[in-house]
Amino acid sequence: MTIHKEGYKIIALSTILFGVLNIFSFYFISFSFPDVSWIIFILTLSLLVFIFSFFRIPARVLTNKEEAIVAPADGKVVAIEEVQSDEYFTDKRIQVSIFMSPLNVHVNRNPVKGEIVYSQYHKGKYLVAWHPKSSVENERHTVVYKKNGKELLVKQIAGALAKRIVNYLHPGQQVKQSEEMGFIKFGSRVDLLMPLNAKVQVKIGEKTQGGITVVALW
């Protein structure tokens, strides 16, 4: 397991804060109120471990299949439905939504290989990720992949806790399946908009692993 580059700064600051708080606690609190000092240590250590865990990149054997659309994120499938596209496409698409909790791995990965034909950031609100309007009103970044004449849209959506979406892709870029495409800090949701003839392979409530789980075949 390694630590994602997006976490270097916040981990460094968190480690310094952990050290400062516990040094202060040891010299000024522990002798008079040892129980309070222990509580401070346990709470700050738990927070530090959580931050390290949040930016983890576990070792995985990633999926690489021509006909597969793989999960762009770890999380739980919360929606599988036919929707009218509201961006880039003008037709109906099958939408699969994956909710990412703060405990999930937060690296986002390319669901397919191909060319990036669209990449657009949108400012917006911070509704909870499962809110019906979060995909059109929240802060988000939309990317469209083109492969063998077929196109696939992926939307990174901020939630109530997620305050920063990172996306590394730009139009004209050629990408490989399951490689990194971005990162969402502190929990959110990723939507996949696929052609209507895509054969969905997951179910509502199923847990996915980014870069591994096959969401659909096309």
| Dihedrals phi, psi of 13, to nearest 5 degrees | -65, -40
Quote the tokens at residue 145: 């992949």
Q: Of 25, 134, 135, 188, which one is the catalytic site residue?
A: 188
Answer for the pair 202, 192: CB distance below 8 angstroms, yes or no: no
CA gap 188, 134 in Å, rounded: 10
30 counts as catalytic: no
Give the helix, strand, coil percentages of the chain, each rounded to 5: 20, 40, 40
**Coil, strand or helix at 195:** coil
What is the spatial order of strands in the sheet that 199-200 belongs to?
68-70, 214-217, 199-200
Among the listed residues 104, 95, 36, the one whose alpha carbon sits nearest the alpha carbon of residue 69: 95
Residue 75's nearest CA partner among 192, 210, 177, 212 is 210
> Which sequence positions are flagged as catalytic?
188
